Amino acid sequence: MADMMDMEGTNGRRVLLCVSGCIAAYKACEVLRGLQKAGCDVKVVLTEAACEFVGPTTFEALSGHEVAVDLFDYGPSAIPHIQLSDWADLILVCPATANVVAKASQGIADDCLTSTLLAATSPILFAPAMNVRMWQNAATRANVETLEARGIVFVMPASGRLACGDIGEGKLAEVETIVDRALSMLDATQSLAGRHVLVTAGPTHEPVDPVRFLANASSGKMGFEIARAARRSGAHVTLVCGPVSLPDPCGVDVIHVTTAAEMLEASSEAFQSCDAAVLAAAVADYTPTNPSDHKLKKRDEALDSIPLTRTKDILATLSKTKGERVVIGFAAETNDLVENAREKLTTKGCDLIIANDVSREDSTFGSDTDAVTIVSTDGAEELPTLSKREVAERIVEMVSKMIAAKGDATC
């Protein structure tokens, strides 16, 4: 069966809705309608298990397109997983069962849906739904982390009463939340196309001797999320990161460094071809003046004091040469958040400071959330506590708008 209609009136945004088998499959119909109301053209892929909950006829009537279930029985194409993955601007897996999450994380392609995911080059959004014990299982958590490290975005499940009667996390997120996230990804997909963005992340380690160093507790999570968000927005991203225990983001040029001096050198070189820099790394302010070339023994040598030398300021250095380019810095503070951030904005010469109160449990080094305040010459905007991913998306959105505004000002 050929497509039943051309979806006149769409704005050119094409979403491939992939539905897997669980009771929440009926909500995928509402998600489809929400996307259509926003002007999206939607095609649907179902697993065989999904057909047990909502049949292809329903989705065909709603979408106006033939639904793909089997790799060998899809009228519009003999190779549906390739044709559909090429067609989509965004792939939305909703609901995503534990089984589909596991298969995607391992690259298993044993049906039309998982084969399409493996062939995809467009952004992918997962909206999981499953029993709370399945969601909290270590295997599922590891699979989610693997997919996130590859740049796949998740609308995390909500807490509440589940279809089985259990109470807890695993309930499909609200339809409006899923649709909004999908639309934000579609809108952001090409906002930085053709742009080069530099991101720094993590701590630096300043050697005292071959086995000891001065450092801080930065995990690098914020910078990595910014790099992923910029990449999803179409940018060429260079990530300069200090020692972290995070997997490299997919599609990002990663330069691993150890010391502040190495980070400055790598960042300065990359910045020459960049349109923007977001400097999220927690760079050491001081480094040992005379690091030992051998391990210092406490029985032989006193360590009453370690002479320190100021490191060269990366944010100030890049800001001095930025011209019309965008430079954003971070301020990790434990008191007088806005005042300290305003002072840093003035002294460093950058465009914005993202101020973070690291004394808070929901906003400290290594946390999965941040409560930041965006400080500019126009004032300070305090954001609510958000996931680092959401903070990163806000920052990348600002970068895109600032690049566009500076470009307009020079025309």
Q: Please, which pLDDT band fits residue 271 given cuts at 50, 70 and 90?
A: very high
Cβ(220)–Cβ(201) under 8 Å? yes
Q: Is the pLDDT of residue 67 over 90?
A: yes
> For residue 276, what are its two tokens?
């923007």
If one counts every other C-beta atom within 10 angstroms of the C-beta of residue 270, the result is: 22
Identify the pLDDT of residue 12: 63
- Please pick, among 18, 29, 112, 164, the residue that the annotation labels catalytic: 164
Arch. (CATH architecture) of 14-188:
3-Layer(aba) Sandwich (3.40)
Q: Please, which pLDDT band fits residue 145 given cuts at 50, 70 and 90?
A: very high
Q: Please, which pLDDT band fits residue 207 given cuts at 50, 70 and 90?
A: very high
* Average pLDDT value for residue range 183-195: 79
Q: Is the pTM of this model over 0.85?
A: no
> For residue 29, what are its two tokens?
């119909």
Short-list 333, 344, 323, CA closest to 277: 323
Catalytic (active site) residue 18: no
Number of residues written out for the chain: 411
Cβ(234)–Cβ(251) under 8 Å? no
Q: How far apart are CA 75 and CA 194, in angstroms?
A: 37
* Average pLDDT value for residue range 248-260: 89
The secondary structure of the chain, three-state, reads CCCCCCCCCCCCCEEEEEECCCHHHHHHHHHHHHHHHCCCEEEEEECHHHHCCCCHHHHHHHHCCCCECCCCCCCCCCCHHHHHHHHCCEEEEEEECHHHHHHHHHCCCCCHHHHHHHHCCCCEEEEECCCHHHHHCHHHHHHHHHHHHCCCEECCCEEEECCCCCEEEEECCCHHHHHHHHHHHHHHCCCCCCCEEEEEECECCEEEECCEEECCCCCCHHHHHHHHHHHHCCCEEEEEECCCCCCCCCCCEEEECCCHHHHHHHHHHHHCCCCEEEECCECCCEEECCCCCCCCCCCCCCCCCCCEEECCCHHHHHHHCCCCCEEEEEEEECCCHHHHHHHHHHHHCCCEEEEEECCCHHHCCCCCEECEEEEECCEEEECCCEEHHHHHHHHHHHHHHHHHHHHHHHC
Q: Do domains 14-188 and 196-291+302-410 have the same CATH topology?
A: yes
Q: Does domain 196-291+302-410 have CATH number 3.40.50.10300?
A: yes
Q: Please, which pLDDT band fits residue 11 given cuts at 50, 70 and 90?
A: low
Q: How far is CA 1 from the centre of its chain?
A: 38
Q: Is the pLDDT of residue 146 over 50?
A: yes
Q: How far apart are CA 298 and CA 36, in angstroms?
A: 69
pLDDT digits (tens, 9 = 90+) for 18-43: 999 999 999 999 999 999 988 899 99
Terminal Cα distance for the chain, rounded: 51
* Average pLDDT value for residue range 5-25: 75
pLDDT digits (tens, 9 = 90+) for 272-284: 999 999 999 999 9
Q: Please, which pLDDT band fits residue 188 given cuts at 50, 70 and 90?
A: low
Please state the domain extents for the chain: 14-188, 196-291+302-410
Task: List the single range of 136-145, 206-215, 247-256 with lowest mean pLDDT.
Answer: 247-256
Task: List the single range of 87-96, 157-166, 277-286 with lowest mean pLDDT.
Answer: 157-166
Q: How far apart are CA 354 and CA 375, in angstroms?
A: 6
